[in-house]
Structure 1
Amino acid sequence: MRVTVLYSPAAREVLEWEVGVEPGATVAQAIERSGMALARPGLDWHRASVGVWGRKSGLDTVLREGDRVEIYRPLQVDPKLARRERFARQGARAAGLFAKTQVRGPRR
């Protein structure tokens, strides 16, 4: 059966391997078979988060025909912290519920 293994080392850069595995193969077996370890020797995929079709899963997850295995890189910035910093930069009047809205007079 055929599955695809993907890894994105940086924004707008995606490495993709199409792999043939036996029925009942796991995520770990697909990653090993892909040869990704040779292409990215510095990546410790045993400790990285992985998923199938955008849903986080474990290395022991059994794959089906056509599955897409994704290896996730760690976040550079905590999303909550980034939102707080963006809000602080923009100010209370320019963001979210407090954004300025245009007030119009009555229609004539």
Structure 2
Amino acid sequence: MPEPMIEIEVVYAAVERQLLLTIAVPSGTTVRGAVKSSGIGEQFPELDLDSCPLGIFGKAVADPEGRQVLAGDRIEIYRPLLADPKEVRRLRAAKAALARARTSDS
């Protein structure tokens, strides 16, 4: 007897384009397995589907090799950060402090 199929979505947003695929996978498929079987790797060959961070509905999945998908899940493939958010905030705060110091000196 064949395994029951469930429908899920796989999404990826590159800088220049986005793609949302609706696919059917066998019940019991892992998050990583669903992404690999989705065919999204052919659309974005720069993706390393074996190690890229994944999430479901905006929440990171800590163990994509172990977590099974559920019907209706939207698996998101995350791009690496270009800059550390903490460092960006620190630089912005330093720039604002410098601007305040300049206006108070005037």
- TM-score between both structures, scaled by the size of structure 2: 0.79
* Aligned positions of 1:56-67 closer than 5 A: 56-57=60-61, 58-60=63-65, 61-67=67-73
Q: 8 Å contact 2:12–2:76 — kept in the other structure?
A: yes
**Counterpart amino acid of residue 26 in structure 1:** T
- Please give the secondary structure, in 1, of the residue aligned with 2:14: strand
Please name the residue that 1:86 is paired with: 92
Unmatched 5+ stretches in structure 1 = 95-108
Report how far residue 10 of structure 1 moved.
Answer: 1.7
Unmatched 5+ stretches in structure 2 = 1-5, 101-106
Q: Distance in 1 between matches of 2:51 and 2:33?
A: 15
Q: 8 Å contact 2:12–2:78 — kept in the other structure?
A: yes
Report how far residue 59 of structure 1 moved.
Answer: 2.2
Please name the residue that 1:14 is paired with: 18
Residue from 28, 39, 55 that aligns with 2:32: 28
- Please give the secondary structure, in 2, of the residue aligned with 1:5: strand
Residue from 34, 43, 56 that aligns with 1:52: 56
Higher Cα Rg: structure 1 or 2?
1
Please name the residue that 1:102 is paired with: none
Q: Distance in 1 between matches of 2:96 and 2:18?
A: 32
Q: Distance in 2 between matches of 1:69 and 1:51?
A: 6
Report how far residue 54 of structure 1 moved.
Answer: 1.4
**Counterpart amino acid of residue 62 in structure 1:** Q
Please name the residue that 1:5 is paired with: 10
Runs of at least 4 residues of structure 1 off by over 6 A? none
Q: Distance in 2 between matches of 1:24 and 1:34?
A: 15
